[in-house]
Structure 1
Amino acid sequence: MNAKIDESAFPYKDLIVNTCVLSLVLSRDSRVEQANGEFYNVAQVSEEKFEKGFLTSLLADQEDWHKLVGSLKDDGDVCNHTVKLFKPNGSPVYLNCNAGLRNGLIYVIALDVTSDHEQFKTLKKVNDTVSLGGWTYNPELDVAHWTDVIFDILDIPEKIPVSRDTIWDFIAPGSVDFFNQTLDNFYLQQQSYDVVVEVRTFKGAKKWVRVTAQPEIRHDQVVFVYGTMQDITVRHEQALELEETKANMDLALRAINSGYFTHDLVTDKVFYSDAFRDHMLLPDDLPEEVFRQFIHPEDRVEAVAQHLKELNNDSQYYVNAYRLRNGAGQYKHFEVHGFKVLDNDCNPIKLVGNLIDVEDKYRITQLQDKHNYYMRTLLDNTFVRSFMLDKDWRVMGMDARSLEHFMEKLGYNPILKKTSFTELLSDHDGLKVNIIKRTLDSGNDYRKEIKLDSFTSQETSYDAMCKPVLNYERLVDGYVFYLFDLTEQKNVQEQLEDYRDQLTHVNQYKSELINKIGHEIKTPLHGLLQSSKLLLEGKVTDQEKDLLVKAQKESADRLTNTVDNIINSTSNLEKFKHVSTTIHFNKLIEDSIITIKTTADNKGLDLRFDNFNEDVYVKADLLCLQQTVNNLLRNAVKFTHQGYIHVNALTVGNNLKLVIRDTGIGIPEFKIQKILRPFEQASEGLTREFEGLGLGLSFVAKYLPLIDGNIDISSEVGQGTTVSLSIPLVYNLVD
């Protein structure tokens, strides 16, 4: 049973005076009648100077405050509102106010929420910058809330209502089962999750998002969920690996890993990999003194001297070489390459490395002069990035290229300071390496392609080969990271894809051209053959002979048009070379008019031609420009049955303009853009009144941009067509 508060004994005055609550009593015109000390403290105004002052003099938005005051009713409900005021120094203050009207006075209780407001603004700005959205879910009420960033990621319009199930509907089919299993485990195990799934946005775009969720548990039940969603598409998308390169690297790694070893310099114990002992037929128990007996007698003294020299120099690397006898009594040349593990005083306490079989490649006498070269080749070429870490993930060694990068970035040597490996990485790379660490801590190797951005100015793809270093008890005692740069291989892959697409496009174009040419040539050739056969037989009348001769001419014209269109098609060939010269356009257009005049006269058309009033020159390929003008004039004659064709040549500013108007059949508006493509005609698919390849206008449309020209077509079906050609003028006539 709840105890009832004795209002007469409740310390209201102490509550108002001695807490962080701001209390004010205002008149209807917002004059401050009374205020507690917290108000003056937060507003940073003097109580003496501000006595009976107006609250509105401090507010950032007076109109908003007047609306609040206007909404208050005497003895009515209390209104809640957040207001912004300015301190004398100009800094803003945000107050969450409860206001009520009693007996003509306004009573205000407020809390300073400036810190919360600034944190919210900062968080929103950060989320917008990294495309990170937040969401919450109440399982009991089945109510979810999503920030605007998530709507932006999924391209969801503002007015479309969404629920929890609606959002998950955007998950791509290939990720649905995985995500459903993640949700089941989340509620069953009551542990947070961090997964990457593929989604299809509202607009149908493919994206990859990272989704996280953190449960709030009460009485062994998930009562609330906090989560985030981040667009990671750019980072996630990867090209296919080059299998041949992968295989080569696998062979190199197998060769190197065959002689993996660790040498504890404090206890003088040596551990060799099982693969190396099996390969060399060596016994399982192989202390350092016993191992030295397997070194060739001629090399033993020099090998020991080199061993001591490497331990005492300042380099972090270790190099040695000698001939080693296997269990069958045969000697092979080996090189030893590895890292030295240093203690706090920079003294070596352990060696970690590989014995590499270099029989038939190197000789012992070359070691003194070339061991630095071999080490640099191993670390800077075979392993583009290589790192040696202790069991606490502190850096014990790395390749020279990476060391130079981090020394420039950090200003100190991370090996000497034993810097944590994760401190060298970006936050994004750190998350990936944590996944690798879990695999290595279980005693397993890690081999996958990953993208990292900590070593270069941009994200780079690597083939990562990571191994745990085991001690004598077979427990993890350190880690080795080898990262192969895949940039060049991926560039080659992308180039191959581009070449394949280009070949496919050219092959498709060739097939279309051959099919069209075959169809267009077959009909006129058949007409020529039939008419020639009848004429040769001599069994025709004079009237029939005239008709056959006329038919032969028509077939020959059609063949000529076909060949002409083949020339037009060259504008689609990437290897076609255009020779640019200065052309007297007056002469060119006059020659073109002559070629169509006879045909126009035979059709009874009124051909009008208005040439320039002055000499006009342009820069173009003569053959291509002549073909362009001829195509436009022939189309005008071809598709005009009666009326006129008016050709007007003039200059407009720094351009010549050729306008060709006809009273032909016209072109439907929706067909105008279509006929500018290869093999299209305005009549195709309808009546196909005129045969032809449809390449003429395509040639014009493709060639003109090469000389900074353009074409404009306006037409009305049954009324005619107007074609306007524009080309820049040339004033300097010297080629």
Structure 2
Amino acid sequence: MARTLAGDASARRGENESNSENGASDTSLPLRSLLTSVSNGLARSDGLMRRAIPGLAILFIIVLALFRAGELASSFTKTTDAAQTTLSLMASVVAQKLDASEGTLPETGYRTTLKRLLADSLPVGATSRSRTFLVADASGTVVATAPARPGLENLPVTDLLGPSQPLTVFGARAGVLSVAADLGGGKRDVKVLATVHHLDGRLGMIAVLQPENAIYEEWRNDLSANVTLFVGTSLVLLAVIYGFFSQATRAEHADEMYAATRARIDTALTHGRCGLFDWDLSRGRMFWSSSLYELLGREPKDDILSFADVADITHPDDIDLLGLAEHLLESGETLVDETFRMRHADGSWIWLRARGEIQTEPGSAEPHLIGICIDITEQHELAEQSRMADLRLRDAIETISEAFVLWNAKNELVICNSNYQSLHNLSSTAIRPGTPYKDVMAAASNAEVAPHPVNVAQRGGTSDDSYEARLKDGRWLQISERRTKDGGFVSVGTDITALKKHEEKLLDSEKRLKATVSDLQKSRQTLEFQARQLVEMADKYQEEKTRAEAANKAKSEFLANISHELRTPLNAIIGFSDIMTQEMFGPVGTDRYSDYCKDIYSSGTYLLNVINDILDMSKIEAGRMTIETEVLNAAEAAHDASRIVTGAATEKNIAVTADVAEDHFVHADKRALKQILLNLLANAVKFTPDNGTVKLSASKRGDKLRFEVTDTGIGISERDIKRLAQPFVQVENQFTKTHQGSGLGLAIARSLVELHGGSLTIKSEVKEGTTVSFTLPLADQVETA
């Protein structure tokens, strides 16, 4: 095997160095091309042959039938001619002998002598094949027969051969005729060939008869044999044709299934970036699947690759194919898992992982290494990038002047630098990744005085903490810890021993200063007392301020929380009351129950709106309300808001109009602008008596767009306007007392306007109506494109 592969490799090198071997290679190329062309031509003509072979076989059967029929017809003619000739010759020979011997016949009782003479005159074998010789006297009566047929003697010849054949017909000129004769059965039912010759003297004639059955017996046997052979041959050919068609159909189906299966496998291998190979170790030849060719950017082909072809595109630093083959054959190993590079058609190198197993076909001792090659170039590049990133990370950690250590979520060591190792005098075995924190500290000869594992709960529940720790050798560290996303911690320790010593010196200096100024303290006690009082007052002020801010924050959080808690049951109350009102699952019963359900639904809806207003107000006060401005069409927003309040206005016969030009665009949050307009229009409708009007308009004011909501309602006094837009404030009078509300509508609208950088103003006169206006930044129509 090794010699085979080495010879193949040497031949490959010889092709690159020897002109004579190049000539031999050039000579083999035309032969290979010719064989390939012949193979392709046969493959292309396969369909034509499948259609032509049955026709040729049937044509052969027809020709054979015609040929044998012609031969049999010719044989029948020849048999008839031979029988007629034989009969005529025998009749002539016997007639001549009888004519010559007639003189020896006695006058009386000559029949016995005639019979003997007739028997002596017959040629050898004359009576074979059922031939009968009849001798008749001049009156036409049979007087002698050969072989002896007593039953035919003394009978007229015309009774035997038929009255339709006169005796004069049976002369020398008549030849041989086929007639129906009576050979002793009393019936002329035997077809015979008969010839008659006249004799001289007392003897009238001699007739020779031979049944046609005896004449054509051999021909009929030959006919039966030919028919049997022809039918058998035809049946065999038909069976062969049927088998051919069946096998051809099966082969075609098998080819289609093979092609479909191979296409599926090639598609799967191509999309999976892998390919199949079959390496004949005994011959050094290798087969590649088309997907493996495409993986290397080469044109797929069905030729078997030589060992040298594969070795030429394999990186020599990664794998030695010859050494691998020798090792597999010598060691007996069957499994292969190798990673190496192969040259792409564009000249680049791609990484492949080959996994295979040696297989031996039954009845053959030639081992084949069959397996799959997977493209791992991307994985290899990612691994290389990861390795380089790890190296850069380690270099970066090493360059840190502080002690650096990383722990995972289980308080196990991940990585540390040499400064951390030297700071705690740790051995290399103690800083292996995965070592628990306790084991690391146990191995440290210069640990913290109060060692503890990194635990965020012990750091006050924060993910970023910093503290000071003293080591056993007296040095001080400032340790900064930060929690990682996976639950671990990064710890950085800075040596602050010098700072601590400097701090101690400062403390000593402070003590000396205190001793120096002790005399002055008594004289300054009064001033210090006053200063303490001021400090206490300032502290109390700061405390009260902090308490007030905390109370306000607690209030906002409480409102937000209680709003969230109330909305869930309110949704259930509203939903179930609506179901009961609409009687979706059947009648409720008493009409009063239906009224109660409607009251529950309306009260729940009202309470939910109040809670939503409280929640929005609490978000605004807590600073959690954010807006996302975009270019909006003011006319669309105005029409949408006016359409929503139209239902409530219709109940009071209030006309709501929106007069906003279509070319007005603003920078605003879509939801916030809609809420502002709805709150202002709803307030206007609520506090406008029946048959009143509410108008929404907009006009440009420099780089702002001014919205105005004007109503003909009850109006507001001037002293109440300043506090009207504050949260939970309602101006009580005989009209508002009949209307429910949280008093947050104007407050929410003002806060949302201010979040947009605008302002809201209120102008009103009692019983004359109210005008609420606000401004928003203008936007150009071009910005909407």
> With structure 2 as the length reference, what TM-score do the two structures score?
0.30
Task: Please identify which structure carries the higher helix content.
Answer: 2
Q: TM-score, normalised by structure 1?
A: 0.32
Structure 1 or 2: more strand by fraction: 1
